[in-house]
Structure 1
Amino acid sequence: ISAISQRAVDEGLHFFELPGRRFIDPEQLFRIGRIIKRYNVRILHCHDPKTDFFGFLLKLRFPKMKLVSTVHGWTYRTRRSAFYNRLDKWALRRFSAVIAVSMNVERIARGCGISRTTLIYNAIDTDEWHPHSVRDTAALPLKDPGAFVIGYVGRISREKGPLDFVRVAEAVRRSDDKCEFVVAGEGPEFNEMRRLAEELRVVPFIHFLGQVSAADILSVFQRVDLLLSTSYTEGLPNNILEALSMGVPVVATRVGGVSEVINHNYNGLLTDAGDIDLMAEYVLSLKEDQRLTAKLIENGLITVREKFSFQERVKKIEKLYDTLLKRPIERPDSSCAGRSGAKKDNP
């Protein structure tokens, strides 16, 4: 959250940081309620299961306040996360509006009885994310400075398929030893990812950068030649939007909302999740086929500019807020009966 706070400071915004110690933190909930009362907050915009549940509780105290949530999808890593997800879906049925970041997420939400759902795609700030946005690119720790570099950017967790990334690296290296790999991110599967890299003897050619700041991610995209997304489930991934906006070609799995961004052989290449051989084949083909690479890059830039503009996303959210503030107080749905940090909007 520190990067978000610094951005708010830079923009001269009035904001509060309210760290919580656990899923239900009475002190945190009380402080949010105090802010709502003091500033007469009319819309509370939540972004994860914890804040969605807080929103439901706070609505009982402030019945005229509108509740909005942005939903990126639900992952089921543990029994606890499965419980939180069920609780989240129950709470979201009582919200004034739920923003789904992809058609796939919207379909899942509606299937769970969350009827007040609207589609507003994730977006990217193309003023910040573009091929010439970085002046000084930090050198990556490559064995061969002239290597073709394949990147993994994101959380190292099971649903992202990090072990498949290692398997693809091994398959690619068997055919072309001029390829190297970088991993920008951290997560619970890091040790297992590194263990497999050691087992497959590709550790010298996979460079683990750890958690990378937003500014450094720009540098990473400036240097990598290709983004490889090996996920088994996704909402609508920002790392793919970032890559397209930075002019980096993408090879990705056809899961969640990915195919709403990537049109196969137009602005990227798609495979089924777990298809190691085809992913490796696509990586090698993009290394050799400059004409195909140039086409994917050009069309990727067009896609982001025309469909995933941050400015257009903001306009749609503002329009949703305006619509909500003109509605009468709604009653909760009577149909069927993770994430952290809250955003408080005071239009």
Structure 2
Amino acid sequence: MNIGMFSDTYIPQKNGVATALKLYKDEMEKLGHNVFLFVPKYDINYTREEKNVIEFPAVKFPFEKEQRVAIPFSWKVFKIKDLNLDIVHSHDPFSMGILAMSVSRLLNIKHIGTHHTMYEYYLHYLPPIMRPPVELTQKVVKNWCLKLDKVIAPTNNIKNTLIEYGVPSYHIEVIPTGIDISSFDNPITWDLRKEYPSIKEEDRILIFVGRLGKEKNIDFLIKVFSKVFAEEKNVKFVIIGGGPEKENLELLAQELKVKEHVIFTDAQPREKVIDAYKQSDIFIFASYTETQGLVVLEAMSAGTPVVALGKLGVYDLLSQEDAGGIMIKELNEDDFVNEILRLLRDNTLYEELSRKAKDFVKNNYSIETCVKNILDLYEREIMSGEDE
């Protein structure tokens, strides 16, 4: 198949959607398909080496500099018909998603979309005067979904959310985003203790990976860590990621008198992030916006037990039997602290959860399974179009 994927984010941006797209592309190409990515130009000084990535002019989003807003007007649009695309797959409803909609209609080919992001939880990045009501945001998502031939939801919880927006159940396919499990088999090359000498050999490591934004509740995790540290002194908290909240989080760590024990690494390449998971003892997570929670799956794939807030997609993961993680139902500091301490102190429980976590991801969330399900959906939609 010749597959066209359209997205407003892609590597080297560091987020779940960008990572998922790279995994999709690599796996589909491994199976012999041609995948063409249509994405914003990341930076005028950034040159891509990857084949079949078509970049469009873009500007930095004024209120979040890491994000890009594509301008989907380019001579490259006229070349798309020469690619003989069999299917179009968009990954957001905005500029590149609008282009995907136009391409599918002009070429009369099926259009699949994946709902990756709960946009209503990100409205705080807009100034109040430009901030749309939550209801309008949900309506935009609903209208986009209804114009697609099928919409993919990463979890049943997100499917139910889309149904609440007004999207019919039959219009939605649940296909979880997969993990490249084999990448976790490589030997560790980034030694956290060597890079950050404040982490002693005897220290246990708690880790968070993700964007440093308000919606991720990292301030809550630092407060939790300060209480854990009060009980267990040989513990460090490693925070991997960049974002607008970093300065505020550093100030909070200082106020709570744990600054020397909280390590901010900034954003790191995927290879280093995987190394960090593998050297850590517990992954802690309190975001309430995740459509699935890829970082939760990544931690589990490394055999790192998870203590996480069970909302939206994370609930769908950790509520499953033998998931290998501990789910906290509500945002309660003491509940998090108690479960973290229990894991740190109970070696039998720790080893059991570590084993279950790796098996759970391997058996249910491999990128191979995910891509097979997406390709099956493509083929069904293409066949249904031929029958019409």
Fold agreement, TM-score > 0.5 = yes
Q: 1:223 to 1:179 in 2, by over 3 A?
A: same
Q: Which has the higher contact order (CA 8 A, sep 6+)?
A: 1
Name the amino acid aligned to 1:98. V
Q: Distance in 1 between matches of 2:299 and 2:336?
A: 17
Q: What is the match of residue 124 of structure 1?
A: 179
CA contact 2:138–2:165 (8 Å) conserved in 1: no
Q: 1:24 to 1:31 in 2, by over 3 A?
A: farther
Cα drift, residue 81 of structure 1 = 9.1
Name the amino acid aligned to 2:369. E
Q: Distance in 2 between matches of 1:199 and 1:272?
A: 28
Q: What is the match of residue 58 of structure 2?
A: 20
The residue matched to 2:183 in structure 1 has which SS?
A: coil
Give yes or no for the alignment of 1:237 onto 2:282.
no
Alignment of 1:1-347 (within 5 A): 1-3=10-12, 13-21=51-59, 25-26=70-71, 28-31=72-75, 33-50=77-94, 51-62=96-107, 64-76=108-120, 77-78=122-123, 79=131, 86-115=139-168, 116-129=171-184, 132-140=185-193, 141-143=196-198, 144-263=200-319, 266=322, 267-328=324-385
Q: For residues 192-240 of structure 1, what are the alpha-carbon distances to aligned partners after superposition, in whole Å with 9 as ceiling and x for unaligned?
A: 2122111111111000000111011011112111100111232111111
Q: Which moved more, 1:152-161 or 1:262-271?
A: 262-271
CA contact 1:170–1:202 (8 Å) conserved in 2: yes
Cα drift, residue 13 of structure 1 = 4.9
Name the amino acid aligned to 1:118. E
Name the amino acid aligned to 1:123. G
Q: For residues 42-74 of structure 1, what are the alpha-carbon distances to aligned partners after superposition, in whole Å with 9 as ceiling and x for unaligned?
A: 311111232333323334433x12111111231
Q: 1:2 to 1:238 in 2, by over 3 A?
A: closer
Q: 1:92 to 1:14 in 2, by over 3 A?
A: same
Q: 1:249 to 1:135 in 2, by over 3 A?
A: same
Q: For residues 154-199 of structure 1, what are the alpha-carbon distances to aligned partners after superposition, in whole Å with 9 as ceiling and x for unaligned?
A: 1111221111111011111111111110000112222221221111
For normalisation by structure 2, the TM-score amounts to: 0.77
CA contact 2:110–2:385 (8 Å) conserved in 1: no
Cα drift, residue 281 of structure 1 = 1.1
Q: Distance in 1 between matches of 2:287 and 2:385?
A: 42
Q: Which moved more, 1:279-288 or 1:255-264?
A: 255-264
Name the amino acid aligned to 1:243. A
CA contact 1:184–1:209 (8 Å) conserved in 2: yes
Gaps of 5+ in 1: 332-347
CA contact 2:56–2:74 (8 Å) conserved in 1: no
The residue matched to 1:296 in structure 2 has which SS?
A: helix
Aligned length: 327
Q: Distance in 1 between matches of 2:204 and 2:154?
A: 32
Q: Which moved more, 1:67-76 or 1:149-158?
A: 67-76
Q: Which moved more, 1:188-197 or 1:174-183?
A: 188-197
CA contact 1:231–1:273 (8 Å) conserved in 2: no
Q: For residues 108-133 of structure 1, what are the alpha-carbon distances to aligned partners after superposition, in whole Å with 9 as ceiling and x for unaligned?
A: 1122233311000121111112xx42
Q: Distance in 2 between matches of 1:29 and 1:81?
A: 29
Gaps of 5+ in 2: 1-9, 13-18, 31-49, 62-67, 124-130
CA contact 1:101–1:236 (8 Å) conserved in 2: yes
For normalisation by structure 1, the TM-score amounts to: 0.85
The residue matched to 1:17 in structure 2 has which SS?
A: strand
Instruction: Give the RMSD, CA atoms, in angstroms.
Output: 2.7
Q: 1:302 to 1:81 in 2, by over 3 A?
A: farther
Q: Distance in 2 between matches of 1:110 and 1:330?
A: 28
CA contact 2:57–2:70 (8 Å) conserved in 1: no
Q: Distance in 1 between matches of 2:197 and 2:339?
A: 22
Q: 1:59 to 1:234 in 2, by over 3 A?
A: same
